[in-house]
Amino acid sequence: MTHFPTHDFQVGDIVKLRHASAPQRVTEVFDHVISTEYLNTHHTYHKRAAAQFELISEEENTTMTKKLFKTADDQYGTMLTKDSQGNYVLELKGSNDVKAFDPKTLEEVLPYTVLIQWASGAQKHYEVSKGSLSKGDIVISDQGLILGRVEDIDTKNRNPSSNHTFQKVGTSPIK
């Protein structure tokens, strides 16, 4: 009989697959399965065996904890650590206050990003100014005549490209 180790993962824990190094945040916990989201992309995975994961130590996690969050009452704070109940401990901006918050009540502050589907088949997230592109807009790359279409806006991607060279193409319907 196979024995599975017990796992006490909680929503918000930073984990990694046992055979990999990319950090993921736990988004849901079931009996022996968890759902996760990679920290450096927007990719999520649902209901994978918890036995495939291990908790990342606080030392490994220190480089990932300098994230900015917005609270329900419109305060902003930098994450310092997690407490024993799984709450995020934030240092609030504009004061020296340190408070703990349920991670479900916080919104991570991320750059405004869009997802572009390129004619080559590649999809990539880009950091752009809010309102500069709309879903369905056509863009052309300055690195050759490569067309792309804005597939989604405000994607809140954690690792977008901020170094882009493309222009919006004006289109009009043909009758």
**Distance separating alpha carbons of residues 84 and 81, to the nearest angstrom:** 10
**What's the first-to-final CA gap in the chain, in angstroms?**
69
Please say if the pLDDT value at position 6 is more than 60. no
How does pLDDT run across 54-89, given as a tens digit for each residue?
A: 888 654 554 444 788 999 998 898 888 888 888 888
In the sheet that holds 24-29, the strands lie side by side as 44-49, 33-38, 24-29, 14-17, 53-55
How does pLDDT run across 89-107, given as a tens digit for each residue?
A: 888 988 878 999 999 999 8
Please say if the pLDDT value at position 153 is more than 90. yes
Decide if 25 contacts 103 (C-beta within 8 A): no
Residues 120-130: b if buried by 16+ CB within 10 A, e if exposed: eeeeebbbbee
Amino acid type, 170 = G
Please say if the pLDDT value at position 4 is more than 50. no
